[in-house]
C-alpha cells in the first residue's frame, strides 16, 4: 500500500502514548471529532453489528461538567488529574447502543485504538478512561438510556512527554507507570521475549 509500511506503522504505535496533560487553551473542533469517529466505520466488529456510537463533547460548559466525573492515573495517588490550564480540549464518549445487544465483544478496544492512532496523526493525544461515574455522566450529558457509556476518551494537544521503558522479564516486574521530577511520564512495557509462549 502506498506510503504505508511495517516500520512506519510500528513508529506510529510506539509514539501513540497515553497523555494526561494538555495545552488547555487549545480546543478540539467537532469537525475533528467527527473525522476521528469516521475512522471507526472501518474497524472489525463482532457479528458486524457495529453497536458503538459516540457523543461529542467540546463546549467549555460540557467539558467542565465531564471533568470532575473522571479518575485520572490511579497509580498517582497524590495527583488529582490535570490542572485547569492542562485539561483536554474535548471528549468522545463511547456508548453501546443496547438496541443491538448487551455486549460489544472487543469492538470497543479496537475502535479506541483506531481513534487514538488517528488522533496521533493529527498532532493530538489523549487518555482512554474507564474509571468514571457512569450514571452521573449520562445524567449531565442527557444521554438516552438506550446508549450505555463504556469509555470516555479525553482528547487534546499534548503538553507532556512520555517515554517507554523496557520492563524486567521476571513475573514480578513492576508495570506501574511513573513520573520523574523533570515532568516526564514513563510507561513500562514488557519485553518481546516475555510475550511469546513457545
Ligand X SMILES: Cc1cc2nc3c(=O)[nH]c(=O)nc-3n(C[C@H](O)[C@H](O)[C@H](O)COP(=O)(O)O)c2cc1C
Report the interface residues with ligand X, using CB under 6 A.
17-18, 20, 71-73, 127-131, 162, 177, 187
* Segment (H or E) for 138: helix 134-141
Write the DSSP assignment of 78-118 as a string of letters: T--SS-GGG--SEEEEEEEEGGG-S--TTHHHHHHHHHHHH
Cell of 111: 475502535
Instruction: Tell the smallest beta-carbon distance from residue 16 to ligand X (Å).
Output: 8
Write the DSSP assignment of 53-75 as a string of letters: EEEEE-SHHHHHHHGGGB---TT
For the chain, give the number of residues.
198
Instruction: Tell the smallest beta-carbon distance from residue 134 to ligand X (Å).
Output: 12
Based on CB atoms, which residue is closest to ligand X, 18 or 50?
Answer: 18
Instruction: Tell the smallest beta-carbon distance from residue 2 to ligand X (Å).
Output: 28
Instruction: Tell the smallest beta-carbon distance from residue 31 to ligand X (Å).
Output: 26
Instruction: Tell the smallest beta-carbon distance from residue 15 to ligand X (Å).
Output: 10
Based on CB atoms, which residue is closest to ligand X, 65 or 113?
Answer: 113
Based on CB atoms, which residue is closest to ligand X, 47 or 71?
Answer: 71
Based on CB atoms, which residue is closest to ligand X, 144 or 161?
Answer: 161
Of 48, 144, 135, the C-alpha closest to 98 is: 144
Asked whether the beta carbons of 155 and 127 are under 8 A apart, the reply is no
Based on CB atoms, which residue is closest to ligand X, 35 or 134?
Answer: 134
Amino acid at each position: 500500500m502506498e506510503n504505508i509500511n511495517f516500520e512506519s506503522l510500528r513508529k506510529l504505535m510506539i509514539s501513540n502514548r497515553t497523555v494526561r496533560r494538555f495545552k488547555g487553551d487549545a480546543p478540539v473542533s467537532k469537525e475533528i471529532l467527527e473525522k476521528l469517529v469516521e475512522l471507526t466505520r472501518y474497524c472489525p466488529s463482532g457479528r458486524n453489528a457495529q453497536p458503538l456510537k459516540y457523543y461529542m463533547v467540546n463546549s467549555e460548559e460540557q467539558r467542565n461538567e465531564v471533568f470532575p466525573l473522571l479518575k485520572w492515573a490511579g497509580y498517582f495517588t497524590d495527583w488529582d488529574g490535570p490542572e485547569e490550564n492542562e485539561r483536554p480540549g474535548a471528549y468522545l464518549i463511547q456508548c453501546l447502543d443496547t438496541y443491538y445487544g448487551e455486549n460489544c465483544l472487543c469492538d470497543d478496544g479496537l475502535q479506541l485504538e483506531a481513534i487514538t492512532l488517528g488522533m496521533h496523526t493529527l498532532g493530538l493525544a489523549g487518555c482512554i478512561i474507564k474509571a468514571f461515574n457512569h450514571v452521573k455522566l449520562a445524567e449531565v450529558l442527557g444521554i438516552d438510556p438506550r446508549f450505555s457509556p463504556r469509555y470516555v476518551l479525553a482528547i487534546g494537544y499534548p503538553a507532556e512527554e512520555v517515554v517507554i521503558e523496557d520492563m524486567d522479564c521476571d513475573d514480578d516486574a513492576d508495570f506501574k507507570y511513573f513520573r520523574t521530577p523533570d515532568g516526564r511520564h514513563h510507561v513500562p512495557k514488557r519485553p518481546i521475549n516475555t510475550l511469546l509462549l513457545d
